[in-house]
């Protein structure tokens, strides 16, 4: 008993189609991942260009910090700010929240280390 070759045609065709769909899906997912990786790299490159402009004097300190804060927020990062700036931001936020004037209280981070010569 020999089987008719046309009987095997349908299962083979379905298998080939499923493999093609799987290859397409894997290719699509990889391209999405690459786009995400490229976007992150682009943001860092743009920030580096702004830093260079600041170093050349094309941007003031205030302009550069504003751009850096906006870019950091867009990238989901917290910018590395000096203690005095963090303190002012905390005071501003507390004042805005309560509607009252809030006196800043020094924290352990704000205290200068005791060098024993004082």
Residue 107 lies in a domain: no
| Residue-range definition of the domain harbouring residue 66 | 8-93
Residue 114 lies in a domain: no
58-97 residue pLDDT tens: 989 999 999 888 888 877 765 555 666 666 666 666 665 5
Residue 77 lies in a domain: yes
Residue 110 lies in a domain: no
How many domains, in total, are found in the chain? 1
Residue 118 lies in a domain: no
Is the pLDDT score of 14 beyond 50?
yes
| Helix or strand run (H / E) with residue 117 | none
**Of residues 56, 94, 64, 101, the one with CA closest to residue 81:** 64
Residue 98 lies in a domain: no
């Amino acid at each position: 008993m020999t089987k008719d070759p046309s009987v095997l045609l349908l299962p083979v065709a379905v298998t080939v189609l499923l493999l093609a769909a799987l290859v397409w899906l894997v290719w699509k997912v990889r391209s999405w991942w690459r786009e995400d990786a490229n976007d992150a790299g682009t943001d860092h490159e743009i920030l580096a260009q702004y830093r260079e402009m600041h170093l050349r004097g094309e941007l003031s300190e205030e302009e550069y910090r504003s751009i850096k804060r906006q870019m950091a927020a867009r990238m989901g990062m917290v910018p590395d700010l000096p203690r005095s700036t963090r303190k002012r931001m905390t005071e501003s936020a507390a004042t805005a929240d309560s509607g009252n004037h809030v006196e800043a209280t020094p924290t352990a981070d704000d205290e200068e280390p005791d060098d024993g010569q004082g």
